[in-house]
Amino acid sequence: MTSPGTQARRPGRPRSEQAEQAIIAAALAVFAERGPDAMGIEQVAARAGVGKATIYRRWPGKEELLLDVVGALRTPLPQPQGRSVRADLTALVEALCKEAVDPRRGRQFALLLGEGLKYPRLLARYNELVMEPRREVLASVLRRGLATGELREGADVDAALALLTGAVLARIGRGREVTDARYADSVVSELLRGLAAR
């Protein structure tokens, strides 16, 4: 019997936080190496150093595990400083490009897009947790530029977002052919040729 104010430990879940972090890290690694079809709970358990039962107590199958794992792909973007649209967009594109040229992150992204038809819930979760928040950060900088007059009136924010994200996607799997800072600066400079107020 537990004393008042003391929460009883749930049976069968010792060191749950440590185990969950190990499972998530292992699932990300196996997913990047094999993709969702070839990924198995047994491989994840071996990589995490836990038994399969430990995983199945938390997730009924690999898709449910991956739905939670997708959240681990979120990494913070630089906070826009508000000094100029050019500076903020360049910092954001540079940060995104650094992720895109990371082989493991690039493969995870490519797998998510490539398997989207087969795993629509997984792709929807990735868009919700990872893609949309990032698009919103970029969009907020562009909208601010419209409000301050840095960008020309009537500039198409959605088209600008497509150009910026397309430039980042073009970096996946290409390695560091140019420095991220130089590439980001070039992308933003070319974009602003068309969007900047005259």
CATH code of residue 34? 1.10.10.60
Which residue in the block uniquely carries the two structure tokens 């500076």? 87
Whole-model pTM: value is 0.78
Give me the torsion for CA of 66, 113, 132, 84, rounded to 10°.
130
Q: Is residue 46 part of a domain?
A: yes
Question: What DSSP assignment string belongs to 56-121?
Answer: HTT-SSHHHHHHHHGGGG--PPPPP-SS-HHHHHHHHHHHHHHHHTSHHHHHHHHHHHHTTTT-HH
User: What is the predicted pLDDT for the residue at 14?
Assistant: 45
Mean pLDDT per block of 10 residues along the chain (198 residues) reads 42 67 92 86 95 94 89 86 94 89 73 76 87 94 96 94 91 64 92 85
**Do 98 and 154 share a domain, yes or no?**
yes
Residue 186 belongs to domain spanning: 74-195
Q: Is residue 4 part of a domain?
A: no
**Cα–Cα distance measured from residue 77 to residue 36, given in angstroms and rounded to the nearest whole number:** 27
**Do 35 and 104 share a domain, yes or no?**
no
Q: Is residue 3 part of a domain?
A: no
**Cα–Cα distance measured from residue 18 to residue 21, given in angstroms and rounded to the nearest whole number:** 5
**Do 84 and 150 share a domain, yes or no?**
yes
**Do 121 and 187 share a domain, yes or no?**
yes
Q: Is residue 7 part of a domain?
A: no
Comparing CA positions, the residue from 156, 153, 149, 167 lying closest to residue 89 is 167
User: What is the predicted pLDDT for the residue at 37?
Assistant: 84
User: What is the predicted pLDDT for the residue at 175?
Assistant: 59
Q: Is residue 49 part of a domain?
A: yes
Q: Is residue 2 part of a domain?
A: no
**Do 108 and 151 share a domain, yes or no?**
yes
**Cα–Cα distance measured from residue 177 to residue 153, given in angstroms and rounded to the nearest whole number:** 35
